Amino acid sequence: MIVRVEKSKLYGEVEISGGKNAFFPAVGAGIALGANRIKISNTPKIKDIDIMLEILKSLGCSVRKYNDTVEIDAEKIQPKEVPQELFGKIRGAIVIFGALLGRFGKVKIPMPGGCRIGERPIDQHIKAAHQLGFYVKEENKTVEAHGIPKDGKILFDIKTVTGTENAILMSVNSCVEIENFAKEPEVIELINNLKKFGVKIEINNNKLLIDGKHRDFPDSVEFRLIPDRIEAGTFIIAGAATGGHIKLRNVIIDHLRSTIDKLKDIGVNIIENENEIEVIGRDLYEPTEIVADSYPAFPTDLQPQITVLLTKAKGKSILKDNVFPERLNHVFELIKLGANIKISEDNRIIVYPSRLRGSRTNATDLRSSAALVIAGLIAEDSPTFIENFEILERGYENFVYKLRKIGGYISIPMEAEHQCIQYLLK
């Protein structure tokens, strides 16, 4: 699908949806706890969620969606192998690994593919299972694990979000210490959700201490997703880039601390008020240096978006992505729009003041497609056309509708418009 985006200033209010990346661990928690009924509210209507529900159905679950709620009946779930064509579509499905080990002590998954932001290995997930005493076999592009979880220690070589989620899920029946765990809000929310059902989890500096030996075995669980901090950050950056004035409702400001502080540093006027953020943009910003890293550092998932904003800085800015050093697709597309950006030997992104001009671009992954929309909102002279726009709709609920509502000029082909409306009416 090709969309057309034109220069526009954003004014108005936008409601932030539930977090895509909080949905997967919430499902994992329900499965690992052994619940037969899993109810999750504040769930965004996006394709990645639908793919996850298809995966659950392939394991024997039945699912129901109404309003912003997803109900999963997991009574008949089995540790069968997930079909590769489904599993390979979304990274979030990887939590099935830890969830089924937590519930059955058994799992078989296809080896997940890489994607356009770099290699996406799961060696740390496998290492965690080994360290808990599970037998793990990797062959024919599948990973199979089984065993009785022991008490023990998991030490991660690097901070991994879904790796940490899997390590926690496979530990819900044991006493486990996890060192060098990821502290993203979605991980902390998983911990909070498991503690509601008697899993004792203590955060002791860089260690997680889990004791699941006396936990409940609930028949049903109910979770409400935290707001999507990356959707919020995307709209904040879009408002700032267009020099507009927008208000975001339904955010958790703490989850955006590093992003808000960095934007204030470069001159964006941001007013914080409980669960709302007001953004007042301007024409030019101060240059800066950004290192994207594990939480609470600046998030890699907002690196493409802020790269666009920094074309409106008065001088040279430098970005380094320590999480996905190869997260550069947006740079090549921005250069097509006239951005003056260089990439150094060690993958630093060097952004010089640039006047973007509308042109044809290509979305390659979720966050770079959002970055291209922001570029289209500030590009001069002619519209910006973005091919493969459907990628963006996998991770942002009602994006076109929300952007239009705050004055963003974005048009999609008629048939997509029709699908978009049908999807909204579901």
Q: Rule CB under 6 A: which residues touch ligand EPZ? A: 21, 24, 91-92, 119-125, 158, 160-163, 182, 300-301, 323-324, 366-367, 395
DSSP one-letter code for 88:
T
Q: State in angstroms the smallest separation of the CB of 158 from ligand EPZ.
A: 5
Strand partners, 115: 118
- Choose among 47, 180, 28: nearest CA to 109: 28
Q: State in angstroms the smallest separation of the CB of 334 from ligand EPZ.
A: 18
Complex with ligand EPZ: residue 193 or 300, whichever CB lies closer: 300
The gap from C-alpha 139 to its chain's centroid, in whole angstroms, comes to 29
DSSP one-letter code for 402:
H
Three-state DSSP class for residue 360: strand
Which amino acid, residue 208?
L
Complex with ligand EPZ: residue 112 or 383, whichever CB lies closer: 112
In the structure encoding, which two tokens stand for residue 104, read together?
Answer: 């059955």
Answer whether the bond into residue 296 is a cis peptide, omega within 30°. yes
The helix (run of H) or strand (run of E) holding residue 203 is strand 200-204
| Cβ atoms of residues 379 and 335 within 8 Å | no
Q: State in angstroms the smallest separation of the CB of 117 from ligand EPZ.
A: 6
Three-state DSSP class for residue 270: strand
Complex with ligand EPZ: residue 110 or 358, whichever CB lies closer: 110
Complex with ligand EPZ: residue 92 or 376, whichever CB lies closer: 92
For 80-119, the three-class secondary structure string (H helix, E strand, C coil) is: CCCCHHHHCCCHHHHHHHHHHHHHHCEEEEECCCCECCEC
Q: State in angstroms the smallest separation of the CB of 380 from ligand EPZ.
A: 29
Complex with ligand EPZ: residue 158 or 343, whichever CB lies closer: 158
175 catalytic? Reply is: no
- Choose among 75, 69, 33: nearest CA to 56: 75
Q: State in angstroms the smallest separation of the CB of 161 from ligand EPZ.
A: 4
At residue 407's C-alpha, the angle toward residues 238 and 48, to 5°, is 60
Query: Which sequence positions are flagged as catalytic?
Result: 115
